[in-house]
């Protein structure tokens, strides 16, 4: 078997295994979607597919028993606000840790990493701040992410600093450099962190 045929066989095996693992991981979601169209009697049967996708009483009952649309709107607001603020803080902190020199920089970095071992939610603190039952109270504990700061710091370190020096010579300030040069270069990791953060907060 030549190299091309062996590589093709390996690619096929890897693709089949990846698809199989993907189906296993996504099966609970598929089952929930299909189950939403089942009648109460069909839930007791082992069949996967509902007899008809026209049965929508489950959706009507869910909307009647709880304000689902309001819950979804709350989740959307929390996820969007928390993700945007978290990314802004992470980008600013990562930029400071990679482009500025100040006393205690390494200590601050390791202190930030140390917070990864602490629980993120703190009901007592939010309560004492008088932020219970508010969007800010629900989002404030997720405004800072040590893991995102760490990942962005590592990415920023890989960007040549000569770009910043050249931008400074052309009269480009730090904020403009971040928005027009650094962020476009780091768009893949920023997009990944945005999606990951949005899903986590949701």
**Other CB atoms closer than 10 Å to residue 55's CB: what's the count?**
14
176 CB contacts (<8 Å, ≥6 apart)? 167
> Model's pTM, two decimal places?
0.73
Please identify which residue in the block is written with the tokens 């089952």. Answer: 31
pLDDT in tens, 138-175: 888 778 888 899 999 999 998 888 888 888 888 888 88
CA-CA distance, 138 to 85, in Å (whole number)? 13
pLDDT in tens, 80-114: 998 999 999 999 999 998 988 888 888 888 888 88
pLDDT for the residue 173: 87
């Amino acid at each position: 078997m030549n190299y091309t045929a062996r590589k093709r066989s390996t690619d096929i095996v890897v693709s089949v295994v990846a698809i199989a693992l993907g189906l296993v991981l996504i099966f609970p979601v598929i089952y929930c979607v299909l189950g939403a169209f089942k009648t109460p009697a069909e839930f007791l049967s082992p069949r996967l597919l509902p007899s008809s996708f026209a049965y929508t009483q489950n959706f009507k009952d869910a909307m009647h028993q709880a304000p689902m649309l309001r819950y979804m709107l709350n989740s959307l607001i929390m996820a969007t606000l928390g993700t945007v603020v978290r990314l802004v803080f992470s980008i600013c902190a990562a930029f400071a840790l990679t482009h500025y020199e100040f006393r205690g920089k390494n200590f601050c970095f390791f202190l930030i990493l140390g917070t990864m071992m602490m629980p993120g939610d703190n009901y007592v603190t939010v309560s004492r701040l008088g932020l219970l039952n508010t969007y800010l109270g629900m989002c404030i504990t997720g405004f800072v992410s040590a893991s995102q700061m760490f990942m962005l710091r590592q990415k920023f370190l890989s960007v040549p600093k000569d770009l910043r020096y050249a931008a400074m010579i052309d009269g480009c300030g730090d904020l403009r450099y971040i928005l027009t040069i650094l962020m476009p270069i780091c768009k893949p990791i920023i997009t990944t962190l945005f999606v990951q953060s949005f899903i986590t907060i949701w």
